A and B are shown apart, each in its own frame.
Chain A
Amino acid sequence: MSFSDILGVSIGKLMLRSPIIIASGVWPMEPERWPSGIVDKVGAICTKGLTFSPKEGNKGIRLWETPCGLLNSIGLQNPGLESFLKNEFQMLKNCGCPLIFNLAFHREDELDLLLDKLSSSGFDGTVEINVSCPNVSGGGMAWAVDLMSLEMVLKKARAKWKGDIWVKLSPNVPDIYDSAIVAENCGADAIVVANTWLGLAIDIKKKKPVFERIFAGLSGPAILPLSLRLVWEATNVVKIPVIGCGGITDTESALGMLMAGASAIQIGTGLLRDFEVINKICGGIEGYMEENEIDSVKQLVGLAKKNHNIRG
């Protein structure tokens, strides 16, 4: 059997050669900067969060390490969709890996404009609607927190976009059930659970918050148990695929995410600390499957749920 026969998964119309997707915001949008051999086993790559107009991102400190975690306050720095389509996309479209357009917006009509612009470029693939960026004022994660707004924008997006729609949800909500159900009811093809957790760091030397925006998004292995719980909960209430995101750094955490119910996995911060992590995880999952006589990665999805009442 080939590599993709064993590790391949399909999410909506998209066939992925492996369940490992590079999350939005960590990977260069210039393929010439990619270290050799790192994306060979990657299922798909999410673009930087793209907005209609260019954004310079946040001022001041943007990164702060925490125990086993990373706070970031990048603030959606991007060249704007139009420039991205003219420049970066021209190099990326032949990179040998499906590209997922991560779209972020401040006002409702901006999402319309983004989808129109994307359609006119000829792209009809998968978009990841980012309703969960914690590092911008207005828009951002406010969309996922206000369920009525979320429903409104997703319905409009569904009516407009013929390709697949993934919705990247926020963990910064009272519970994940409601936003997951809204996304499914609005016709999303998959949900991504989830974006970063809102956190705070204090610089005790300066006696003030580290970040100019005070709060920032926490990622990394520190949040793995929280992500696993959210994925478990979300897959209890929706039938569409759930893509797990948050804290994956090795085979064990990736297998755990699949067994908690995720149909695929996004890796962000884990890639920052080890470029080889995706190759290692793919090899590790294959080894685990062979050892446990599992033929397809799909059999791993939700396995812990099926087994949780079994004693021992």
Chain B
Amino acid sequence: MGNIKDFSAIVLKKTAFSDELFMLRVLPEERIKQPNPGQFFLLKSWEGLDPLLFRPFAPVLAHEDGSLDFLIKVVGKGTQIIRSCMEGAKVKLRGPCGNSFPDPAGQRLILIGGAVGIAPMVFSYMNYEKKLPVKLILGVPGAGWDDFCESDIFSNLDLEIFSDDGSIGRKGTPLTLFEKGEIGEGDEIWACGPIGMLKALGTAIDAVKENQIYVSLEARMACGIGGCLGCTIPTKWGPRRVCADGPVFKWAEVSWNEL
């Protein structure tokens, strides 16, 4: 039997970074298996039938008291309802779902997050910072993301920020770093974010072996345990489930042109 289950949690804290971006800290009401880097949870804050399904989010942090932080961007009805959650509210979760990043084989770990895709990268950073050199790279659109980029999440982390409009950190995307030769052999890259950014990774990084690049993908999903096959992505091996075979895939195994 699997470790995934449905459970309730209490909202301990909600931190808004902008109208559409916030972080939710929730404390499970029962003991759950702690997630590994790359794993995610399904979350919903409603009991009724509309919306019908949970929404998937990777945790940013898992705290010692068992609470989990989720970074959430409002993109539709479900995330809008979650944003309206008050502290003390009860939410439902399912998880931890999916596979996880394998232990890094490289000498340095480069973690790249595009916008909210930074969540599992921060989680991975915390897991590996004591084991090998780790660098975190965040790419954001720019205006409106200031409060998030300056938040406590990134305190004391080796972080470099790129913004499309140049208003935060360096102008450009995380890929800019590779053009300047700041990544080399021996580096292992893990990334999560928009498909365009992930797809570009493999072609942008000549210096890194393809099999040292891992991506964490997102998809519309329903069950979270590999049953419904609603979240499959095309790979070299045929369709694979983001929720059960993923969300972590080797960059080289994803059929990017069919996505």
Contacts A35-B5, A35-B6, A74-B229 given; indicate if A65 touches B94 (C-beta within 8 A). no
Q: Is B244 an interface residue (CB 8 A)?
A: yes
Q: Is B196 an interface residue (CB 8 A)?
A: no
Q: Give B185-227 as 1s and 0s: 1 = Cβ < 8 Å from A's Cβ atoms.
A: 0000000000000000000000000000000000011110111
| CB < 8 Å neighbour of A57 from B54, B222, B229 | B229
* A32-B2 in contact (CB<8A): yes
Nearest CB in chain B to that of A275: its residue: B6
Q: SS class of chain A's interface: helix, strand, loop or mixed? A: loop
* A269-B52 in contact (CB<8A): yes
Count of chain A residues near B, Cβ 8 A:
37
**Which one of B100-108, B135-143, B231-239 contacts A?**
B231-239
Nearest chain A CB to B79 CB, angstrom units: 13
| CB < 8 Å neighbour of A56 from B53, B225, B239 | B239
* A62-B230 in contact (CB<8A): yes
Count of chain B residues near A, Cβ 8 A:
29
Question: Which B residues are CB-close (under 8 A) to A296?
Answer: none
Q: SS class of chain B's interface: helix, strand, loop or mixed? A: loop
| CB < 8 Å neighbour of A36 from B5, B50, B221, B234 | B5
Nearest chain B CB to A167 CB, angstrom units: 23
Nearest CB in chain B to that of A247: its residue: B49
* B49-A68 in contact (CB<8A): yes
Q: Is A67 an interface residue (CB 8 A)?
A: yes
Question: Which B residues are CB-close (under 8 A) to A68?
Answer: 49-50, 52
CA–CA, A36 to B4, complex, Å?
8
| CB < 8 Å neighbour of B53 from A35, A57, A65 | A65
Question: Which B residues are CB-close (under 8 A) to A61?
Answer: 220
* A221-B5 in contact (CB<8A): no
Q: Is A33 an interface residue (CB 8 A)?
A: yes
Point out residues on A near B: beta carbons under 8 Å: 25-28, 30-36, 48, 56-57, 59, 61-65, 67-70, 72, 74, 77, 220-221, 249, 269, 271-276
